[in-house]
Amino acid sequence: MNTSTPLRELRAKYRTDFVDYDSYLTIATSSLDNPDLGKILNPSSHYESISILKDSLAESLDHRKDKKELIGLAANQVGIPISAVYFEYYQDGVLKNSLLTDPEIKAVDKETPRLFLKLVKCPNSPSPYHIGIFNMNIAVASSNSPTFTLKVAEHIDSNGLISANLQRIIWASKGYLPGDSGELPMNYYNVSKAVESSEKLKSLFNCWIHKDEIDLILSKFKIVDHLGLHTRGAFYLHQNLINLASQNLDKEWIRIPGLDLFKDINNLLVN
């Protein structure tokens, strides 16, 4: 590596089309504070057609070496102040893609939602990897496509990779990133602390993790907070997940207890 290359240039090189964190917040805030902006810069007026917007977002994703981790992106993540997301997925071995304008996530569970943990990556965040908590069963509505449902553990999305990242980029289209210090319940670090402090939340907490996800977290998740300052919490999370896995060797999906797994827990036992 050329050590004389400024850090800003290196970050821009590896981020490619994705804007940095501060720029993303400016774009997202402008979109939220000016609702008419979306009407002025909608796909049909700002672009010749939705297909050109789709091609543009597809190209931005294709520039990334980690595109298989990202699955997709929101338009505002690459500096376009439009409520739209693009994502790719495999179905029966065939690569498919979709563009959704004005996307919305709707829960489909009538009772307590079934949640799952997923390691997600976001090029706009100050730190790359985060433990997100997502709904296992969702419906997705948009202005250019019929509403569809997506259920984790089914054939098309056996480990939640598609669902977690689709939820992540839809939230990104609304100004929220994983790891943000806000109140959005997508950041498992915040959720785990809230759940542990409330007996009512503990009783309702219905959260799972795929056994293969634990290996990914152990290898890639090294820091916790959105500024990337703390590593001790990640160490305890690793130890607690190893304990959970050792107690559930015969299970594909492992239940997450209503405890703060980012701290030292002696004799972690799960029913």
Size of the chain, expressed as the number of residues it contains: 271
pLDDT for the residue numbered 83: 87
CA–CA distance from 134 to each of 12, 14, 144, 151, 269 (Å)? 30, 27, 24, 11, 24
Contact call for residues 170 and 103 (beta carbons, < 8 A): yes
**CATH no., domain 7-207:** 3.90.45.10
Q: pTM of the predicted model, to two decimals? A: 0.86
Q: Which residues of the chain have pLDDT under 50?
A: 1-5, 7-8, 10-12, 14, 40-41, 44-46, 227, 229
Contact call for residues 163 and 115 (beta carbons, < 8 A): no
For the chain, what are the domain ranges?
7-207
pLDDT for the residue numbered 99: 95
Residue with tokens 């160490």: 235
The 3-class secondary structure across the chain, one letter per residue, is CCCCCCHHHHHHHHHCCCCCHHHHHHHHHHHHHCHHHHHHCCHHHHCCCHHHHHHHHHHHHHCCCCHHHHCEEEHHHHCCCCCEEEEEEEECCEEEEEEEECCEEEECCCCCCCEEEEEEECCCCCCCEEEEEEECEEEEECCCCCCEEEECCCHHHCCCHHHHHHHHHHHHCCCCCCCCCCCCCCEHHHHHHHHHCCHHHHHHCCEEEEHHHHHHHHHHCCCCCCCCCCCHHHHHHHHHHHHHHHHCCCCCEEEECCCCCCCCCCCCCCC
For the record, the structure tokens of 264 come out as 């030292």
pLDDT for 83-110, tens place per residue?
899 999 988 889 999 999 999 998 787 7
pLDDT for the residue numbered 158: 92
pLDDT for the residue numbered 177: 87
pLDDT for the residue numbered 205: 94
Residue with tokens 């019929």: 146
pLDDT for the residue numbered 3: 47
pLDDT for the residue numbered 189: 87
Which of 239, 184, 248, 191 is CA-nearest to residue 217?
239
CA–CA distance from 106 to each of 19, 84, 103, 113, 159 (Å)? 28, 16, 10, 11, 20
pLDDT for the residue numbered 8: 47
User: At 148, which amino acid appears?
Assistant: F
| Strands 207-210 vs 115-121: parallel, antiparallel or unpaired | parallel
Q: Please give the radius of gyration of the chain, using alpha carbons only, rounded to the nearest integer.
A: 19
Residue with tokens 């050329």: 2
